[in-house]
Amino acid sequence: MTIVGLGLMGGSLAMRLKRDGAARRVVGLVRRAETAFAAERLGAVDRAATDPAHALPDADIVIFATPVRVLMAQLQAYAPLFKPGAIVTELGSTKRAITDALSRLPPHVYPIGSHPMCGKETSGLAAAEATLYEGATWVVSPLPRTPDGVIAVVEALARAAGARPLTLAPARHDRLVAAISHVPYLLSAALVLAAESVAEEDETVWRVAASGFRDTSRLAASNVAMMMDILLTNPDAVAEMLGRLRRQLDALGEAIAGGDETRLQTLLQRAADRRRRLYPPAIDD
């Protein structure tokens, strides 16, 4: 098996599979020699290479764990190197654009999309950990041409990483993930930018920031290049979800400005009830 990219996602997956002996042999393909050296020294992989010709032709499974638009370019560039019969998958955060790229792979390989629903606002191999995928939902997005046996292999990979596989068609995945991942990121960024605009007039704003601001703004610290790839390969769903969000914010803003307590109470209570059902407080809270 070869993992392309040993950042947070690829590095964590390699570490997990190595830790449990779940893969016969884990090879890493990276851009920089330092990363290859670091990955081997950490024991994250059996072998790391910087030359695709030394990492791809022997692999039964190739897993791309690079940023979305990078991996779309790599899929095309590396296509001639894939072994006949190889399973080609990826861990990208959007699925429609990647599925288009996967569908253009030669007929002698088996492409299938996937997306583990986890991450951190830190990135890179230094942030990787074998437990990253534990308990996470791992979306599997087969193409029409993907055989059932290949779906089963990727589901087994997800389980080996400690995750729970969930099959979703690419367009459905992209809509749902826009709602619970891409838009929350944009919200966090917009919140920080709005506070920054206040800070330009009154720096004291940062001194009154407490845990509420800290948590709501956490995603704003995500890797910008990675998030740009995600947003720009999912513009329709992001626009739809931003519209839904704006309507809710407008409804809340109007209820406050108009002093409409009944309406405000109804909206806020609905949000509170749902949030508490999704994440019940711990017994000792």
Nearer to a copy of itself, 153 or 169 (CB): 169
For a copy of itself, the closer of residues 27 and 241 by Cβ is: 241
Interacting span for a copy of itself (CB under 8 A) from 57-65, 83-91, 143-151, 211-219: 211-219
Annotate each residue in 140-179 with x if it binds a copy of itself (CB under 8 A) or - if it does not, as one string.
Answer: --------------------------x-x---xx-xxx-x
Q: Is 197 in the site for a copy of itself (CB under 8 A)?
A: yes
Which one among 33, 53, 156, 256 touches a copy of itself, defined by CB under 8 A? 256
Q: Assess 283 for contact with a copy of itself (CB under 8 A).
A: no
Q: Nearest distance from residue 272's CB to a copy of itself, in Å?
A: 5
Does residue 134 touch a copy of itself according to CB under 8 A? Answer: no
The 3-class SS string of the chain reads CEEECCCHHHHHHHHHHHHHCCCCCCEEECCCHHHHHHHHHHCCCCEEECCHHHCCCCCCEEEECCCHHHHHHHHHHHHHHCCCCCEEEECCCCCHHHHHHHHCCCCCCEEEEEEECCCCCCCCHHHCCCCCCCCCEEEEEECCCCCHHHHHHHHHHHHHCCCEEEECCHHHHHHHHHHHHHHHHHHHHHHHHHHHHHHCCCHHHHHHCCHHHHHHCHHHHCCHHHHHHHHHCCHHHHHHHHHHHHHHHHHHHHHHHCCCHHHHHHHHHHHHHHHHHHCCCCCCC
Q: How far is the CB of 170 from a copy of itself (least distance, A)?
A: 13
* Smallest gap from residue 79 Cβ to a copy of itself (A): 26
Q: Residue 148 is encoded by which pair of tokens?
A: 């059932």
The strand pairing partners of 28, in sequence order, are 3, 48
Which region, judged by CB under 8 A, interacts with a copy of itself, from 49-57, 71-79, 106-114, 119-127?
119-127
Which is nearer to a copy of itself, 53 or 225 (by Cβ)?
A: 225
Q: How far is the CB of 84 from a copy of itself (least distance, A)?
A: 34
Q: How far is the CB of 66 from a copy of itself (least distance, A)?
A: 18
CA 255 to chain centre: 35
- Binding flag, residue 139, a copy of itself (CB under 8 A): yes
Q: How far is the CB of 154 from a copy of itself (least distance, A)?
A: 17
Q: Does 207 bind a copy of itself (CB under 8 A)?
A: yes
Contact with a copy of itself (CB under 8 A): which of 119, 142, 162, 170? Answer: 119
Considering the complex, what minimum distance in angstroms separates the CB of residue 252 from a copy of itself? 5
Nearest Cα to 70, choosing from 47, 46, 39, 92?
92
* Cβ distance to a copy of itself smaller for residue 81 or 264: 264
CA atoms within 13 A on the CB side of 180: 10
State the minimum distance, in angstroms, from the CB of residue 159 to a copy of itself: 16
